[in-house]
């Protein structure tokens, strides 16, 4: 009898558990924002168990590697890059070397930017050959790489914002010839033109010299010679450029011209020219430093500068870097940012002032 009672009790319990299980499985499963005790959707009860809003998207970070920090030319590039960051809502980190000869330092800075998880990198390569492999390596690792000012010996980069430096060199030579002839420099007497450069590895400088030589050889009187075999390399050191300018002026009584294909060299030659007081020597340089502006405005001197749009290199470089980092594409890989001649006649024109001031 006890066994029959136990069996009946076990069956009763089993039936009870089955009924409970069925009742449980028939209940609706709670979803996010609702509860089993309150089936009303959270969307109809604002503030009550509403889903948290998504966190704001983090700003992307673009690293900008200029050639020489603190240099007047590169300060303008920096200003353009920073303005792009403000306008477009991205973080801009600017780094650079102390001299144009510090190629290994630039390689290390590039690696630092990658280690810092830069979303994109804008770089002005110090050396076309030495920087080719580092730039290519990062590009192949899917980091957008934007070149500004100078190119490298590889096609492994996203886009480039540069001066057409060969054309700029031709324009510099054309300007030099026109100014020499305008002051009546004798074409039947031997005259020499001296050159100092910031770096032997800069593709921008190489191209400007090549463009200058091409135009000069085709158009200059045979008696006017450029001292290509005596080019002085100043490594971006303005004081070295001053000394080289003084040396040229002292060593060559028949010096009729000075050519400087980059900003630091130009500043050095300007100072050497002013210290010597030689208003009979024609000079053509690059960029618009305070020193160049002052001598351009002094009508006693026969000088001109090739004005680049480096502000826009910085601005457009960051803008394109951000665009690619956000999934955009490139329709024009190499963009010529353009140049113009500035001298005493047009220094106050609206066009020049717009370029100088980033307008």
Average pLDDT over residues 129-145: 97
**Phi, psi of 286, deg, nearest 5:** -130, 145
- Rounded to an integer, what distance in angstroms lies between the CA atom of residue 300 and that of residue 235? 30
- Rounded to an integer, what distance in angstroms lies between the CA atom of residue 91 and that of residue 85? 6
Q: Hey, what are 244's tokens? A: 């080289």
More confident residue, 357 or 311: 311
pTM assigned to the model: 0.77
Query: Over 50: is that where the pLDDT of 51 sits?
Result: yes
Neighbour order of strands in the sheet with 61-68: 91-97, 61-68, 120-123, 145-148, 159-162, 334-336
Which one, of 66, 74, 106, 101, lies nearest residue 200 by Cα?
Answer: 101
What ranges in the chain are assigned the alpha helix state H?
A: 2-25, 72-88, 103-115, 132-140, 165-182, 203-219, 238-251, 263-276, 290-297, 310-325, 350-356
pLDDT score, position 52? 63
Instruction: Confirm whether 61-163+310-328 and 165-308 share one CATH topology.
Output: yes
Superfamily of 61-163+310-328 according to CATH? Response regulator (3.40.50.2300)
- Rounded to an integer, what distance in angstroms lies between the CA atom of residue 4 and that of residue 63? 85
Q: Quote the percentage of the chain above a pLDDT of 90.
A: 80
pLDDT score, position 354? 86
* Cα separations in angstroms, 105 against 68, 100, 246: 11, 10, 31
* Cα separations in angstroms, 280 against 23, 178, 221: 106, 14, 18
Residue ranges per structural domain of the chain: 61-163+310-328, 165-308
Out of 35-49, 134-148, 338-352, pick the least confident: 35-49
- Rounded to an integer, what distance in angstroms lies between the CA atom of residue 280 and that of residue 177? 14
Which one, of 358, 322, 307, lies nearest residue 159 by Cα?
Answer: 322
pLDDT score, position 55? 58
Work out the pLDDT band at 359, boundaries 50, 70, 90.
low
pLDDT score, position 72? 83
Burial class (CB in 10 A: 0-12, 13-18, 19+), 95: middle
More confident residue, 233 or 3: 233
pLDDT score, position 236? 87
- What pLDDT, in 10s, does the model give residues 226-274? 999 999 999 989 999 999 999 999 999 999 999 999 999 999 999 999 9
- What pLDDT, in 10s, does the model give residues 189-214? 999 999 999 999 999 999 999 999 99
- Rounded to an integer, what distance in angstroms lies between the CA atom of residue 287 and that of residue 340? 10
pLDDT score, position 153? 95
Mean pLDDT across the chain: 88
Exposure string (b/e) for 248-263, b if CB count within 10 Å is 16 or more?
A: bbeebeebbbbbbbbb
- According to CATH, the topology of domain 165-308 is Rossmann fold (3.40.50)
Cβ atoms 96, 65 nearer than 8 A:
yes
pLDDT score, position 58? 87
- What pLDDT, in 10s, does the model give residues 164-198? 999 999 999 999 999 999 999 999 999 999 999 99
Which are the contacts of 31, defined by CB distance < 8 A and separation ≥ 6? none
pLDDT score, position 50? 58
Query: Over 60: is that where the pLDDT of 63 sits?
Result: yes
DSSP state string for 118-145: -SEEEE--S-TTTTHHHHHHHHHTT--E
pLDDT score, position 228? 98
Is beta strand 191-197 parallel, antiparallel or unpaired with respect to 255-259?
parallel
Please count the other Cβ atoms lying within 10 Å of the Cβ belonging to residue 328: 13
pLDDT score, position 20? 40
R_g (Cα) of the chain, nearest Å: 33
Distance of CA 328 to the CA centre of its chain: 19
Question: CA triplet 102, 107, 108: central angle to 5 degrees?
Answer: 95
């Amino acid at each position: 009898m006890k066994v029959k009672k136990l069996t009946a009790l076990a069956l009763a319990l089993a039936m009870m558990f089955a009924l409970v299980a069925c009742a449980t499985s028939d209940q609706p499963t709670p979803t996010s924002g609702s509860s089993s005790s309150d089936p009303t959707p959270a969307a109809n009860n604002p503030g009550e168990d509403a889903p948290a809003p998504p966190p704001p998207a983090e700003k992307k970070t673009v690293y900008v590697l200029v050639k020489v920090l603190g240099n007047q030319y590169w300060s303008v590039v920096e200003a353009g890059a920073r303005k792009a960051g403000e306008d477009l809502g991205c973080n801009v980190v600017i780094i650079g070397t102390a001299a144009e000869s510090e190629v290994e330092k630039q390689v290390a800075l590039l690696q630092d930017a990658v280690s810092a998880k830069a979303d994109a990198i804008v770089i002005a390569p110090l050396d076309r050959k030495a920087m080719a492999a580092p730039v290519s390596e990062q590009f192949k690792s899917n980091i957008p790489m934007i070149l500004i000012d100078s190119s490298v010996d590889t096609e492994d980069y996203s886009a480039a914002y540069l001066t057409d430096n060969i054309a700029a060199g031709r324009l510099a030579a054309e300007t030099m010839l026109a100014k020499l002839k305008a002051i009546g420099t004798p074409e039947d007497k031997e005259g020499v033109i001296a050159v100092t450069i910031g770096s032997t590895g800069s593709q921008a400088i190489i191209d400007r010299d090549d463009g200058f030589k091409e135009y000069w050889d085709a158009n200059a009187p045979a008696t006017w010679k450029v001292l290509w075999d005596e080019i002085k390399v100043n490594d971006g050191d303005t004081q070295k450029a001053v000394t080289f300018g003084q040396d040229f002026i002292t060593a060559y009584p028949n010096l009729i011209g000075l050519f400087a294909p980059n900003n630091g060299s130009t500043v050095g030659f300007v100072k050497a020219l002013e210290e010597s007081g030689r208003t009979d020597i024609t000079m053509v340089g690059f960029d618009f430093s305070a020193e160049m502006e002052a001598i351009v405005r002094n009508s006693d001197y026969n000088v001109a500068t090739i004005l680049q749009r480096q502000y826009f290199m910085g601005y457009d470089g960051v803008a394109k870097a951000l665009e690619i980092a956000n999934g955009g594409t490139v329709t024009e890989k190499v963009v010529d940012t353009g140049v113009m001649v500035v001298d005493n006649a047009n220094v106050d024109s609206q066009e020049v002032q717009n370029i100088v001031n980033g307008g």
